[in-house]
Structure 1
Amino acid sequence: MPTPPIRQRATGRVTLADVALAAGVSPITVSRALRGERAVAPELVERVQAAAAKLGYVPDPAARALASHRSTHVAVLIPMLSNELFVTLLEAVQTSMRRAGYQTLIGVTHYDPGEEEQLLREQLMHRPAGLLVTGFDHTEATQALMARSGVPCVHLMENSPDEGVYSVGFSQSDAGADLTRHLIARGKRRIAFAAVQMDPRTLQRQAGWRAVMQAEGLFDPTLEWMNPAPSSMALGGLMFGQIMGQTPPIDAIFFCNDDLAQGALLAANRMQVAVPQRVAIVGFNDLRGSDLMLPPLTTVHTPLDRIGEEGAAMLLKLMRHEAVPERCIDVGYTVVVRQST
């Protein structure tokens, strides 16, 4: 029997009605068959699936959400995709969400609160079931949008004790302080802090470094090296050369991210600067390859996989209206001591 002519939408998209016409069944039967409902006879399921495959039918999640009043996607806002840190976090979130039947709608904010606000407005138009955001650096308008939307929201990478706020992260400032104490215990006194991008978490690490340096009577504003450019190995090498020209001499450098520290170690090898004898170098986040550097890099290990998994699990509970026993989960961190100090 020839296939009936298909009346496509103006967009060219094959509709549920088209599949129903081709299979010789009702649209509701097509919907039930494709959802795998047991009430549909096996021969009808086979016929519907064959028609859908022949026509190239792809379900419209937006239409399904409107019909069922249940969205099947979660909006995720992260600062960068070029940073391995957030790629690892996103993979953990996406794996957890897919297992639960949800898809992720990703927005990249480029560390710009204004851009984050615009992305949130766009994503809320798609009626997400839940929202995962990075940190707490939001505009007043963004905070109002999240509050008024009624969409469950979990904050990642940082924690907040505020009532009604759900978060999974760790204390960036405590981690920065502990790494600085490690350098001081190694006998270092002129400890530079090298930072880029100036995002809130970097500034929190700086605050931890500064608090310890001040408490030990070692703080000097000239030890702070701040650059608004994006983090990269190339920039780390450049900053290393600049810092090593400082007087009095620097005997340790706390880089705010591992890629900067990795670039610094490569530059030290080129410049024949002994690490850690002449200068100790530390990073943050324990990114891939840090343990393979020469010498291996001392850093702070942050459990990015667990942050993503715990954040997704918490959001799933909120979306299902289940009890959340712990609103604020502190996953902790570990100072990983290697040969660069």
Structure 2
Amino acid sequence: MASKSSQSRSRSKGRVTLSDVASMAGVSSMTVSRALNDPERVSEQVRSRVREAVEALGYIPNRAARSLAGQRSYSIAVVIPSVSNAVFSNVIKGIYDVCSARGYEILMGNTYYSVQQESSLIAKFLTHHPDGLIVTGLNMADSARALLQGAGIPVVQLMEVGEAEPIDLNVGISHRDAGAAMARYMLDRGYRRIGVLGAQMDYRAQRRIQGFVNVLADAGRYDEARIVTTSEPSTVHLGGQLLGDLLSAAPDTDAVFCINDDLAYGVIYECQRRHIRIPQQLAVAGFNDLEASACINPSLTSVSTPLYEMGRVAAQMLMRRLDGETIEQPVVDLGFELRARESA
């Protein structure tokens, strides 16, 4: 590594350049570019020397120059409904782990479950000329769909499959099938007076409920009085409130399916306050199988969804497309797993 005096000489010339980094690291400018943009193409030893030189000199990559030279911005735009929800935190981690390893930056946007906000974010992000875009779900405003179809970049719609024709690439699960699987499980376990609790009620939540209700109806067990939903944001506290509403309308309910684990946690806590025994008096099930679901007492029966894998596969599909590969399977159904535990 170069001395402080050589560092000062580099800094004194003004903006630190790629050549300055190359000189300090003892490699060519092309090797530095590869280490920063395609790190897998150089050895770990060289990557380490380049990193040390970048840190010592305070080098800032010129994204605009890289974009002009290679027709790439080295950025990926990601549009999700919530940055605070643990569900999307896991998805985002999968995206970051793939993109950051390839030298890509993430432009993140939060729609707050608003179709209008989603359209606005997509329009703004496209002005930054991202190399690809990841959006949540298959339903969107016609204006947003038109923007993405005309953008000329790869687009991945994630979280769900099977409900509509994707714009380009698609990875997720069938929420309708997952809801149906939980209904069959509860019926097989002998529950007959089954309720449903839902909040936020985005398209995917609606499909879970529809799949669940269809199975109940086919079995002659559907009761509209046992379906309690709200457009309010989903919280643990709300789960307890919705259970109270359900038991007021149908006190003989013997099982309840919550469209996410947050609501299910609230139901369990409310049952404990009311001295309702789980599952002897009321069985409880959730959706997404968050980390706490196996630890809560009683442990929660839930549908496990491959959240991290959705983000990882979506990002990998973008990278493959950007590398010029043909995607033989543009729609990837990652499937789900029903995790039976103490609560049901």
Fold conserved (TM > 0.5)?
A: yes
Tell me, yes or no, if structure 1 residue 276 matches structure 2 residue 279.
yes
In structure 2, the residue matched to 1:214 is 217
User: Structure 2 vs 1, CA of residues 141 and 190 (structure 1 numbering), >3 Å: closer, same or farther?
Assistant: same
Task: Provide the rounded CA distance (Å) in 2 between the counterparts of 1:115 and 1:219.
Answer: 36
Whether 1:314 aligns to 2:312 is: no
Secondary structure at 1:335 match in 2 = strand
- Aligned match of 1:43: none
How many residues are paired up?
320
Q: Is the 8 A contact 1:16 1:31 kept in 2?
A: no
C-alpha offsets along residues 178-229 of structure 1, whole Å, 9 cap, x if unaligned?
1011111122122111111110100000110111111111212222111111
CA 1:225–1:67: 2 relative to 1, 3 Å: same
Deviation at 1:57, TM superposition (A): 4.1
- The answer (yes or no) to whether the contact 1:16–1:30 under 8 Å persists in 2 is no
User: TM-score of the superposition, structure 1-length normalised?
Assistant: 0.85
Separation in 2, partners of 1:80, 1:163: 21
Shift of 1:59: 2.2
Check 1:284–1:120 CA distance in 2 against 1; reply closer, same or farther (3 A cut). Answer: same
Cα offset for 1:247? 2.9
The match for 2:205 among 202, 205, 213 is: 202
- Do the aligned partners of 1:283 and 1:297 also contact (CA within 8 Å) in 2? yes
In structure 2, the gaps of 5 or more residues are 36-48
Taking structure 2 as the reference length, the TM-score comes to: 0.84
Could you say what the CA RMSD is over the residues aligned between the two structures, in angstroms? 2.8
What does residue 41 of structure 1 align with? Answer: none
State the Cα deviation string for residues 41-95 of structure 1 (Å, max 9, x = none).
Answer: xxxxx9xx979955x4422323431343112111111111111110001101110
Secondary structure of 2:249 counterpart:
coil
The SS at the match of 1:179 is helix
Which residue identity does 1:259 align to in structure 2?
D
Q: What corresponds to 1:40 in structure 2?
A: none
Structure 1, 121-130 or 63-72: larger mean CA deviation: 63-72
Which moved further from structure 2: 218-227 or 116-125? Answer: 218-227
Give the match for residue 33 of structure 2.
Answer: 35
Cα drift, residue 33 of structure 1: 7.7
2:120 — aligned with what? 118
**Structure 1 residue 98, shift from structure 2 partner:** 1.4
TM superposition shift of 1:153: 0.6
Give the residue type in structure 2 aligned to 1:309: R
1:16, CA displacement in angstroms? 5.7
Residue in 1 that maps onto 2:238: 235
Which of 145, 148, 154 pairs up with 1:146?
148
Residues 1:321 and 1:4: Cα distance change in structure 2 (over 3 Å) = closer
